[in-house]
A and B are shown apart, each in its own frame.
Chain A
Amino acid sequence: MEDLLIETLESFGFPVRLQGSLLPDEQYPDHFFTFWNNSSNGESYYDNDEVSTVYDYDVNFYSINPEWVYSKLREAAEALKKVGFIISGDGHSVLSDEPTHDGRGIHVQFLKQNQEE
């Protein structure tokens, strides 16, 4: 699931990193996405097997362009929707370590069916 998330975000041409993974002395790219997997919980069960799983992610976009943290993140939300992710709401502010960058995040879920009916 993470592969599809990363692949979709990478299609925008910006780096995609795990939230919290930049090193203390590592320079921020001008524009980049981060993600974090909050959970991957079983949604339904049949005959002792997990039939479906809900993957829950934070997706954030950081940029030196304050306007882009809204517009690019909305574009990313649309792209994620097209490949099956569920987006709730229009996002929230997230903090940047660098005063040069602004950040904004969305909450993303994916319902994966684990076996054919």
Chain B
Amino acid sequence: MARKNRVGLQFSGFKELAEKLDGLQGDLKKTTEDALRGSKAIVSSGLKETAQKSNYPAHGKYSHGGTHESIDVSNDVEWEGTLGEIHVGFDFKKSGLKSIFLMYGTPRMKKVQEMYDAIYGDKTKSQIRKIQKETFQQAIKKKMEG
């Protein structure tokens, strides 16, 4: 899929919390990576729930498995300068084109909306913002409590 399924830090008030953590000599890089891994866990969990045959076209009649197993579970955070990102979604080397078919449908086959929403849906985005903010708040609290 050309659209890169990557998640970065995306909650409001990030700058203020990052500055506060930095001021307390907190580990900004580790906290960012923890927040991104927490975000990925939310997406992966949603995908695992939706990657069931009952959600597939024709209730999985034509499914040979593999999509569930192709959910990317690696925890590597990629850094480009000060910008950290983590890949979410499917490992296309394992799933091939199947996940694109399920995520976007075809002219003759409707998409699996639940699977799309597990990555791009508003509920997922909201959960990601929450876990990211909480990760930073907890890191600050830990530093302040010594």
The interface size of chain B toward A, counting residues with CB under 8 Å, comes to 20
Given contacts A20-B106, A38-B120, A41-B122, contact A92 B3 (CB under 8 A): yes
Given contacts A38-B113, A92-B1, contact A22 B107 (CB under 8 A): yes
Interface presence of A89 (CB below 8 A): yes
- A58, closest chain B residue (CB): B104
* Assembled-state Cα–Cα distance A89/B116 (Å): 17
* Assembled-state Cα–Cα distance A94/B116 (Å): 13
Inside 8 A of A103's CB, which chain B residues have their CB?
Answer: 106
0/1 interface trace, chain A 24-44, chain B, CB 8 Å (1 if under): 101010001010101101000
Q: Is the CB of A38 within 8 A of B116?
A: yes
Interface presence of B105 (CB below 8 A): yes
- Interface residues in A66-117 (C-beta closer than 8 Å to B): 89-97, 103, 105, 107
Q: Is the CB of A20 within 8 A of B109?
A: yes
Sorting the interface of chain A by its residue count into under 10, 10 to 19, 20 to 34 or 35 or more gives: 20 to 34
* Assembled-state Cα–Cα distance A107/B87 (Å): 19
- Interface residues in B35-90 (C-beta closer than 8 Å to A): none
Q: Is the CB of A20 within 8 A of B104?
A: no
Given contacts A38-B113, A41-B122, contact A97 B107 (CB under 8 A): yes
* Assembled-state Cα–Cα distance A26/B109 (Å): 12
Q: Is the CB of B2 within 8 A of A93?
A: yes
- Interface residues in B100-119 (C-beta closer than 8 Å to A): 100-101, 104-111, 113, 116-117
A45 to chain B, nearest CB (A): 14
- Interface residues in B2-37 (C-beta closer than 8 Å to A): 2-3
Q: Is the CB of A60 within 8 A of B108?
A: no
Interface presence of A62 (CB below 8 A): yes
* Assembled-state Cα–Cα distance A116/B120 (Å): 30
Q: Is the CB of B3 within 8 A of A107?
A: yes
Given contacts A91-B2, A92-B2, contact A19 B110 (CB under 8 A): yes
Q: Is the CB of A20 within 8 A of B2?
A: no
0/1 interface trace, chain A 2-26, chain B, CB 8 Å (1 if under): 0000000000000001011111101
A30 to chain B, nearest CB (A): 13
- Interface residues in B103-143 (C-beta closer than 8 Å to A): 104-111, 113, 116-117, 120-122
- Other CB < 8 Å A-B pairs besides A28-B107, A34-B107, 8 of them? A19-B106, A20-B106, A24-B108, A58-B104, A91-B3, A93-B2, A103-B106, A107-B120
Binding site for B on A (CB under 8 A): 17, 19-24, 26, 28, 32, 34, 36, 38-39, 41, 58, 60, 62, 89-97, 103, 105, 107
